[in-house]
């Protein structure tokens, strides 16, 4: 072997070692990102089973609670674009830590307000305004920055399509895991009193903020800017899926905002028991969304329309079952069936439009879907709580009607048969 060959082998070995080290550093960095997203959304969802009984204890109406939640969703919709710009100018790590500190401040203020109100120191009108500011404006605006920072950081530290897609998908999985486990944790903590859960949520977020400040390396930012694609909502390739997406997202809001009140009223439970039971039911509905989307949907290899045509009516049946559910077992069964149906319909809704547009239009497609989801999350809680005040079963009656109508549309609308989606991905 010549000296040149030996030098080449040494150089190749060194390059592989450097590449391996870089990959290891990237993996460690992204582990912090995934943990931050998981912790942030777990902290948010810990309060989900606690809010309905808390509202009752503080003499707030169901509709007032819905306004608070809608305000939080509105802040996410209004501030996400601005946080994207700040991510470029401030950097990803400062935005990460700022988001977690902001959510901690918001939920700490929320917990202190609730604590004072339970002691009789605040009137219900003052509590409502304070909840709007702390849980709605401060917390919602800060939370919006968390996924923006996470996705921007992933884009900075990954190279190549495969690595980028893997990083982005794991951000989504971390978010989903927080949404699933948070209510269950909140229900368990709620057994020790509502205030325990109220103070546990900002504690989780504060720990995440400290962890990010200490452990997350600073990223190398890129200044590349792309002109946003303009896709019209009324484009014939787009509006049918936005319509079905509205049905899916509205039904999610109707279920999550009404279930705590339904459990307390129908099963005649106290505040702490309601929090525990609500956490269990929300866990039963959330777990399928991880398992089905993570493992079953990829193995099925169904087309987007097949997923929609099966998932929408299945969720409609689940809502019908919720109307007549009379005990905790039947409520859990209906929630589980709803989770399975949503888990099938959501990937179909998210993927179908992207297959009908070109590579340079994907940003516009994703933006429209994100905007439509945010709008539904804004109006959904108010619709749910308003319907519940009218009649306890009405959110589920309306949800079933909307889902079955969307199912018929998906089956009968001629434009979908001309979209070529039936041939994508099998079945």
Q: Give the total residue count for the chain.
A: 427
Q: Once rounded to an integer, what is the mean pLDDT over residues 270-276?
A: 81
pLDDT at 315: 94
**127-147 CB burial, b ≥16 within 10 A, e <16:** bbebbbbbbbbbbbbbbbbbb
Supply the pTM of this predicted model: 0.62
pLDDT over threshold 80, residue 361: no
In tens, the pLDDT along 140-189 reads: 889 888 877 777 777 677 665 446 545 654 665 677 678 777 877 887 88
Mean of the per-residue pLDDT values of the chain: 78
d(CA 217, CA 220) in angstroms, rounded, equals 10
pLDDT at 406: 94
Rounded to whole angstroms, what are the CA distances from 332 to 243, 256, 288, 310, 336? 28, 13, 12, 21, 6
Rounded to whole angstroms, what are the CA distances from 68 to 74, 75, 87, 301, 311? 10, 11, 27, 40, 30
d(CA 350, CA 365) in angstroms, rounded, equals 9
In tens, the pLDDT along 78-137 reads: 777 677 667 667 777 888 899 999 999 999 999 999 999 989 888 888 999 999 999 999
pLDDT at 17: 41
d(CA 392, CA 110) in angstroms, rounded, equals 27
- Let me know how many helices (H) and strands (E) the chain has, helices first: 17, 0
27-36, 54-63, 69-78, 296-305: segment of lowest average pLDDT: 296-305
Q: What is the architecture, at CATH level 2, of domain 20-218? A: Up-down Bundle (1.20)
- What are the start and end residues of each CATH 1.20.1250.20 domain in the chain? 20-218, 229-420
CATH of domain 229-420: 1.20.1250.20
More confident residue, 283 or 139: 139
Residue 88: enclosing H or E segment and its boundaries? helix 62-90
pLDDT over threshold 90, residue 322: yes
In tens, the pLDDT along 214-259 reads: 877 765 544 444 444 566 777 788 888 889 989 998 998 898 888 8
Write out the DSSP string of 141-203.
HHHTHHHHHHHHHHHHH--SHHHHHHHHHHHHHHHHHHHHHHHHHHHHHGGG-HHHHHHHHHH
Winning range, highest mean pLDDT, from 28-32, 106-110, 261-265, 351-355: 106-110
């Amino acid at each position: 072997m010549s000296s040149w060959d030996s030098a080449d082998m040494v150089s190749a070995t060194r390059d592989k070692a450097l590449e391996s080290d870089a990959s290891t550093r990237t993996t460690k960095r992204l582990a912090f990102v995934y943990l931050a997203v998981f912790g942030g959304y777990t902290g948010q969802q810990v309060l989900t089973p606690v809010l309905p009984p808390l509202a009752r204890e503080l003499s707030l109406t169901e509709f007032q609670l819905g306004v608070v939640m809608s305000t939080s969703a509105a802040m996410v919709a209004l501030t996400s674009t601005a946080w994207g710009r700040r991510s470029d100018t401030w950097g990803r790590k400062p935005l990460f830590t700022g988001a977690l500190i902001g959510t901690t401040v918001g939920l700490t203020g929320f917990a202190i307000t609730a604590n004072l109100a339970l002691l009789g120191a605040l009137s219900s009108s003052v509590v409502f305004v304070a909840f709007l500011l702390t849980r709605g404006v401060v917390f919602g605006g800060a939370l919006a920055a968390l996924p923006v920072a996470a996705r921007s950081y992933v884009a900075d530290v990954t190279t190549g399509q495969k690595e980028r897609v893997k990083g982005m998908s794991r951000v989504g999985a971390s978010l989903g895991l927080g949404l699933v486990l948070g209510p269950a944790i909140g229900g368990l903590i709620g057994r020790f009193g509502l205030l325990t859960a109220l103070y546990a949520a900002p504690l989780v977020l504060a720990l995440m903020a400290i962890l990010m400040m200490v452990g997350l390396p600073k990223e190398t930012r890129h200044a590349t800017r792309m002109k946003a694609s303009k896709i019209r909502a009324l484009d014939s390739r787009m509006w049918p899926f936005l319509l079905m997406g509205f049905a899916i997202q509205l039904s999610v809001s109707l279920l999550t905002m009404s279930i705590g009140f339904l459990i307390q009223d129908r099963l005649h439970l106290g505040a702490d028991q309601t929090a525990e039971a609500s956490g269990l039911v929300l866990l039963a509905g959330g777990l399928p969304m991880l398992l089905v989307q993570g493992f079953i949907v990829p193995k099925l290899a169904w087309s987007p329309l097949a997923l929609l045509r099966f998932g929408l009516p299945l969720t409609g049946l689940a809502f019908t079952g919720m109307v007549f559910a009379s005990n905790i077992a039947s409520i859990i069964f209906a929630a589980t069936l709803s989770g399975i149906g949503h888990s099938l319909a959501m990937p179909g809704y998210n993927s179908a439009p992207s297959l009908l547009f070109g590579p340079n239009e994907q940003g516009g497609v994703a933006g429209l879907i994100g905007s439509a989801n945010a709008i539904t999350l804004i109006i959904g809680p108010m619709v749910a709580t308003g319907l519940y005040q009218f009649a306890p079963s009405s959110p589920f009656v309306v949800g079933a009607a909307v889902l079955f109508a969307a199912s018929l549309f998906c089956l009968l609308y001629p434009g979908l048969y001309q979209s070529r989606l039936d041939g994508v991905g099998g079945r």
